[in-house]
């Protein structure tokens, strides 16, 4: 008889990948202008931490939400600078460590090393950008908890999830219906 | 044929239509698909068997003869790297230019990039002869305390190709995430599991889009100089040497234009069967083909101009070796390769000035194949003919002829490329779902449909 051994994830990791459910109200919308209307009304009513689902990125939604610029750009910048420095270090240090004298030319010569520095800038910049997207999305997911989702949101529907306890949920439901939601669900 | 001119003019093209049409391409494969895949695998087998012979008996099986030690393998390497380039042009550069038409074709082009670089990367490894020592290229701490020579273009090339492969792969995967999520929400069975894992939990929340859109923009901004640099570095493999016919400052722009030219032609070659096979006529329209043809016309004209420049400078320089090298190219024993290249690359694309031809998909398909042939011969002419005709070493002249081993490896490379490509288009969305929707008018209240 073998016994299954389950290694428990540390609590913080478990929360990262399997965050506890957040109670709230989910509205499903068919039209872009309806969801923009709903965002405006929610913000006017003082809601700040709601989530908007959209099958495509739309600038109107970004503008209506008034979000700050994504911090991913700092990842790209730092990655690019780090890559350039690593490229410089690689070529300069390695050339000095094993001097290859060719045609009496200087052992450390910058112009050919610019190619290495350039390629490493791009490589590290791209990889840290990916890291930035993943980490920032993960942090956001962790902050929001497990929230309601509808598979139509990747197809042709827009959605808004408003975290709300049982005391506020009824008000949010009325607000979303008033803005033109097709469906409103509580969960 | 009722072809629409731009995406979205047909009332049927709604968000839902886009998702379902593209998700349908992932359904059960048709017989035509298996025939194509079988052909690709058969070609790959030819390549594998040839490679086994090369491993057993050595590079002598290929047609190398002094002084031609860079030949068909390096030609194929440059050809495949070149094919890769238009993918990044369409996915990154046209993204920065906000070209709406790229959305329908960029996924195919980007997948082509990744698989073409994968194919290209095999050739230097095959070419070095002792393939099991390939890792000597990489700067790694070793027992001899030895490092590579960073002044060598070959090391630049390794960094450039390595970076290009990594960046184009992550760029392709990033673009796939929202689309895989869309397919996940429709799929059942094992595909549901596959797409659940590969979509990395994408749900399209505003937080995800916020970081994703910015990150994608920066990736495109990084990939843009990268694509221009990679083929420049490849061209410096030649231009940094003193061989007449190689040692030219025009090489970097000349190679980049040629690369994008051949790549656009390859996109047309690949899209045509996929569009038919998967019934994507309403998403990939004549409008997209025409734009690709215009890109071909532009880059083809640059290539044609570069040919004229090369010959003019060879004459104008007054350098007898340079002159002899170019005379040898056009009228030596390899005249047929040179003229194939000039006719296919510089003259044939002039047909694209005619709108009737530019909007005829069959004509474009045929022209694109000729451009591919011409671009292969361009590299053959530059590499092999320049070396064979080295006139400053008269004792070293030789006429090189490829052998069955060269052709076998080349056939294998086509099989390898098409096998990956066909597997990709059947398992992942070959047209971007979210980006095609972006160029449609969004659904608004008071409208019956999305336009």
For residue A123, give the nearest of B167, B218, B435 by CB distance: B167
Residues A17 and B197: beta-carbon distance below 8 Å: no
How far A185 CA lies from chain B's nearest CA (Å)?
A: 17
Q: Is B444 near chain A, with CB under 8 Å?
A: yes
Q: Is B16 near chain A, with CB under 8 Å?
A: yes
Q: Which band of pLDDT confidence, cut at 50, 70 and 90, is reported for residue B448? A: low
Residue A4 inside a domain? The answer is no
The residues facing A183 across adjacent strands are A28
The average pLDDT across B279-307 equals 89
Which residues in chain A have Cβ-Cβ distances shorter than 8 Å to B154? none
Q: What is the domain range of residue B366?
A: 28-137+148-438
Q: Which of residues 140-179 of A touch B (CB under 8 A)?
A: 140-141, 144, 149, 151-156
Q: Which of B414, B390, B385, B410 is nearest to B400 (CA)?
A: B385
pLDDT at B11 over 80: no
Q: Which band of pLDDT confidence, cut at 50, 70 and 90, is reported for residue B297? A: very high
Whole-number pLDDT of residue A8: 65
Q: Which band of pLDDT confidence, cut at 50, 70 and 90, is reported for residue B391? A: low
Closest A-chain CA to B19: A155
pLDDT at A157 over 50: yes
Which residues in chain A have Cβ-Cβ distances shorter than 8 Å to B167? 122-123, 126
For residue B139, give the nearest of A61, A90, A105 by CB distance: A90
* Count of structural domains within chain B: 1
How far B263 CA lies from chain A's nearest CA (Å)?
A: 22
* Count of structural domains within chain A: 1
Q: Which of residues 300-339 of B touch A (CB under 8 A)?
A: none
Whole-number pLDDT of residue B286: 87
The average pLDDT across A133-143 equals 85
Q: Which band of pLDDT confidence, cut at 50, 70 and 90, is reported for residue B5? A: very low
Predicted ipTM of the assembly = 0.88
pLDDT at B383 over 50: yes
For residue B206, give the nearest of A61, A105, A120 by CB distance: A61
Q: Is B100 near chain A, with CB under 8 Å?
A: no
Residues B238 and B155: beta-carbon distance below 8 Å: no
Q: What is the mean pLDDT of chain A?
A: 84
pLDDT at A6 over 70: no
Gap between the Cα atoms of A65 and B340, Å rounded: 59
* CATH code: domain of residue B175: 1.20.1630.10
Residue A13 inside a domain? The answer is no
Residue B450 inside a domain? The answer is no
Residue A2 inside a domain? The answer is no
Q: Give the pLDDT confidence of A86-136 residue by residue, as tens digits.
A: 999 999 998 888 887 877 888 888 888 999 999 999 999 999 999 999 998
State the maximum Cα–Cα separation within chain B, in Å, rounded to a whole number: 83
Which residues in chain A have Cβ-Cβ distances shorter than 8 Å to B451? none
Which residues in chain B have Cβ-Cβ distances shorter than 8 Å to A57? 209, 212-213, 434, 438
Q: Is B219 near chain A, with CB under 8 Å?
A: yes
pLDDT at B152 over 90: no
Which residues in chain B have Cβ-Cβ distances shorter than 8 Å to A58? 442
Q: Quick one: tokens of B12?
A: 């049927």
Q: Which of residues 117-156 of B touch A (CB under 8 A)?
A: 139, 145-151, 155-156
Contact state of A155 with B182 under an 8 Å Cβ cutoff: yes
Contact state of B218 with A76 under an 8 Å Cβ cutoff: yes
Whole-number pLDDT of residue A1: 44
Q: Quick one: tokens of A1?
A: 């008889």
For residue B15, give the nearest of A55, A140, A141 by CB distance: A55
Q: What is the mean pLDDT of chain B?
A: 86
Secondary structure of chain B in HEC code, one letter for each residue: CCCCCCCCCCCCCCHHHHHHHHHHCCCCCCHHHHHHHHHHHHHHHHHHHHHHHHHHHCHHHCCCECCECCCHHHHHHHHHHHHHHHHHHHHHHHHHCCCCCHHHHHHHHHHHHHHHHHHHHHHHHHHCCCHHHHHHHCCCCCCCCCCCCCCCHHHHHHHHHHHHHHHHHHHHHHHHHHHHHHHHCCCCHHHHHHHHHHCCCCCCEHHHHHHHHHHHHHHHHHHHHHHHHHHHHHHHHHHCCCCCCCCCCCHHHHHHHHHHHHHHHHHHHHHHHHHHHHCCCCCCCHHHHHHHHHHHHHHHHHHHHHHHHHHHHHHHCCCHHHHHHHHHHHHCCCHHHHHHHHHHHHHHHHHHHCHHHHCCHHHHHHHHHHHHHHHHHHHHHHHHHHHHCCCCCHHHCCCCCCCHHHHHHHHHHHHHHHHHHHHHHHHCCCCCHHHHHHCCCCCCCCCCCCC
Contact state of B211 with A32 under an 8 Å Cβ cutoff: no
Q: Give the pLDDT confidence of B66-91 residue by residue, as tens digits.
A: 788 888 999 999 999 999 988 888 88
Crossing angle of helices B153-184 and B189-198, rounded to 10°: 130
Contact state of B185 with A72 under an 8 Å Cβ cutoff: no
Which residues in chain A have Cβ-Cβ distances shorter than 8 Å to B155? 116
Which residues in chain B have Cβ-Cβ distances shorter than 8 Å to A43? none
pLDDT at A148 over 90: no
Q: Give the pLDDT confidence of B201-235 residue by residue, as tens digits.
A: 888 888 889 899 999 999 999 999 998 999 999 99
- Of the listed ranges A18-32, A68-82, B384-398, the least confidently predicted one is B384-398
| Residue with tokens 């070659």, as numbered in its chain | B269
Q: What is the domain range of residue A27?
A: 22-61+70-186
Q: Is A83 near chain B, with CB under 8 Å?
A: no
Residue of A17, A122, A125 best to disrupt the B interface, most CBs of B under 10 A: A122
């Amino acid at each position: 008889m073998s016994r299954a051994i389950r290694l428990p994830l540390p609590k913080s990791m478990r929360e990262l990948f399997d965050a506890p459910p957040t109670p709230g109200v989910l509205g499903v919308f068919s039209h872009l202008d309806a969801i923009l209307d709903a965002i405006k009304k929610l913000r006017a009513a003082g809601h700040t931490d709601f989530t908007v689902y959209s099958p495509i990125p739309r600038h109107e939604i970004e503008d209506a939400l008034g979000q700050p610029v994504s911090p991913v750009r700092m990842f790209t910048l730092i990655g690019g600078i780090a890559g350039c420095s690593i490229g410089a270090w690689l070529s300069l240090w390695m050339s000095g460590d094993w001097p290859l004298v060719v045609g009496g030319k200087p052992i450390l010569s910058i112009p050919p090393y610019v190619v290495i520095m350039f390629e490493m800038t791009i490589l590290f910049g791209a990889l840290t950008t990916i890291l930035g997207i993943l980490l920032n999305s993960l942090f956001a997911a962790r902050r929001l908890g497990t929230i309601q989702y509808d598979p139509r949101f990747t197809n042709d529907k827009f959605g808004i999830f408003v975290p709300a306890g049982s005391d506020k949920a009824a008000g949010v439901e009325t607000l979303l219906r008033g803005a033109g939601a097709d469906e409103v669900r509580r969960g | 044929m009722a072809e629409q001119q731009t995406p979205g003019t047909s009332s049927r093209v709604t968000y839902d239509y886009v998702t379902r049409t593209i998700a349908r391409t992932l359904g059960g494969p048709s017989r035509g698909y298996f025939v194509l895949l079988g052909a690709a695998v058969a070609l790959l087998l030819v390549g594998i068997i040839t490679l086994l012979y090369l491993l057993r008996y050595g590079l002598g099986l290929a047609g190398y003869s002094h002084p031609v030690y860079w030949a068909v393998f390096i030609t194929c390497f440059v050809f495949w790297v070149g094919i890769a380039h238009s993918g990044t042009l369409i996915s990154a550069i046209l993204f920065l230019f906000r070209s709406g038409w790229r959305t329908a074709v960029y996924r195919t082009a980007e997948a082509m990039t990744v698989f073409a670089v994968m194919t290209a990367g095999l050739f230097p490894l095959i070419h070095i002869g002792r393939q099991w020592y390939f890792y000597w290229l990489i700067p790694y701490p070793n027992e001899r305390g030895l490092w590579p020579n960073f002044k060598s273009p070959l090391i630049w090339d390794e960094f450039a190709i390595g970076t290009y492969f990594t960046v184009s792969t992550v760029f392709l995967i990033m673009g796939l995430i929202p689309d895989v999520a869309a397919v996940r929400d429709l799929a059942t069975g094992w595909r549901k599991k596959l797409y659940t894992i590969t979509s990395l939990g994408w749900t399209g929340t505003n937080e995800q889009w916020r970081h994703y859109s910015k990150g994608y923009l920066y990736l495109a901004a990084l990939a843009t100089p990268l694509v221009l640099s990679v083929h420049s570095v490849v061209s410096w493999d030649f231009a940094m040497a003193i061989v007449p016919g190689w040692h030219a400052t025009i090489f970097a722009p000349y190679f980049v234009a040629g690369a994008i030219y051949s790549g656009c032609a390859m996109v047309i070659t690949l899209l045509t069967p996929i569009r038919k096979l998967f019934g994507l006529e309403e998403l990939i329209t004549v409008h997209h083909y025409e734009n690709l043809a215009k890109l071909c016309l532009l880059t083809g004209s640059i290539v044609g101009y570069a040919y004229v420049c090369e010959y003019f400078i060879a004459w104008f320089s007054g350098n007898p070796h340079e002159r002899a090298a170019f005379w040898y190219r056009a009228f030596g024993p390899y005249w047929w390769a040179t003229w194939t290249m000039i006719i296919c690359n510089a003259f044939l694309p002039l047909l694209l000035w005619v709108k009737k031809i530019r909007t005829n998909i069959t004509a474009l398909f045929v022209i694109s194949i000729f451009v591919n042939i011409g671009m292969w011969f361009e590299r053959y002419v530059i590499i092999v003919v320049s070396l064979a005709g080295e006139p400053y070493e008269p004792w070293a002249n030789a006429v090189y002829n490829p052998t069955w081993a060269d052709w076998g490896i080349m056939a294998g490379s086509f099989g390898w490329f098409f096998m990956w490509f066909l597997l990709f288009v059947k398992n992942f969305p070959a047209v971007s779902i979210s980006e095609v929707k972006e160029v449609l008018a969004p659904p608004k209240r008071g409208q019956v449909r999305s336009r």
